[in-house]
Chains A and B, each alone.
Chain A
Amino acid sequence: MHPGLMRDGFALAGVLFALGVVGVLVRRNILFMLMSIEVMLNAAGLAFVVAGERWGRPDGQVVFLFILAMAAAEVSVGLALVLELYHQNKSLDTDAASRMKG
């Protein structure tokens, strides 16, 4: 692989990951925070695939598949928690759920 392409692939993964971090820190709506987490997971997977292509090995893609499975499990539990939070607080704001035991 072209070395510049590898550098730019990692740069793209870094930028996407940073955008995900900014999303989690800035937004207070829990749906947006979950979406930002998806962006971060995707960026991490991109870094693995770029590294795997650099060495011409399938391992990077295998790790991406594991990240995909993890993201699916995380989203199913996370969205069930979002529904529960909405039923309890009638709001998606995470600051509304800052106390335990109401």
Chain B
Amino acid sequence: MTVVFYVAGAVAVVATILMLAQTHAVHALLYLIVSLLGVAIVFYTLGAPFVAALEVIIYAGAIMVLFVFVVMLLNLGEQAVRAERALLAPSMWAGPLILAAILIAEFLYPTVQGGVLRSTPVTIGPGEVGASLFGPYLIGVELASMLLLAGLVGAYHLGWRRTPKGEAC
């Protein structure tokens, strides 16, 4: 199933190019999510299903939701209502929809045919990754947890808005 690898890679590259060409931030986010989903299918075909699932759940799910929240926080008021109405026009979501449909077709076709999606004979599953992560790379896990704590504290500090009196609100 090498062709799945190439089609998913092409979808990822096309979606990234279209992302750079957008002027509206929500559009660009839709294309970026499609690009991440394309890379997730590339991971799957390479025989890394665990990382493919994490790419969808954490990258395309959690991190992109943060971006969407910030974009929605930034434009409030009447302009946002107009932008919201414009988002429902088909020209806005047709491009990402077509690219995502290609990825879904790619995922469904081999499944229905009863074949496998991988292009490599070796699959490295979550068990081996976990054994390696909590074996030789344990110190890296601890450092990553400290980094995430620092990110949490930093984001909290930056988001802490002060009133003129110096009180937090």
Contacts and interface: CB of A to CB of B under 8 A. Distances in A.
A and B part of one assembly: yes
A99 interface: no
A58 B158 contact: no
Contacts, number: 164
B151 to A, nearest CB: 3
Nearest to A69: B144
Given A5-B119, A58-B128, A73 B150 contact: yes
Interface residues of B, number: 57
Contact of B6 (A8, A32, A39, A58): A8
B2 interface: yes
Contacts of A50: 46
Which secondary structure dominates chain A's binding surface? Answer: helix
| Most chain A beta-carbon contacts within 10 A, residue among B13, B120, B150 | B120
B42 A80 contact: no
Nearest to B17: A19
Contacts of A71: 59, 63
B133 interface: yes
Contacts of B32: 35, 38-39
B25 A81 contact: no
Interface string B22-54: 000100110010011001001100111011001
Given A64-B51, A66-B144, 20 more contacts: A1-B46, A1-B120, A12-B12, A22-B20, A31-B67, A32-B28, A39-B19, A42-B59, A46-B39, A46-B43, A49-B48, A50-B46, A52-B124, A53-B120, A58-B131, A62-B137, A68-B54, A68-B59, A72-B148, A80-B159
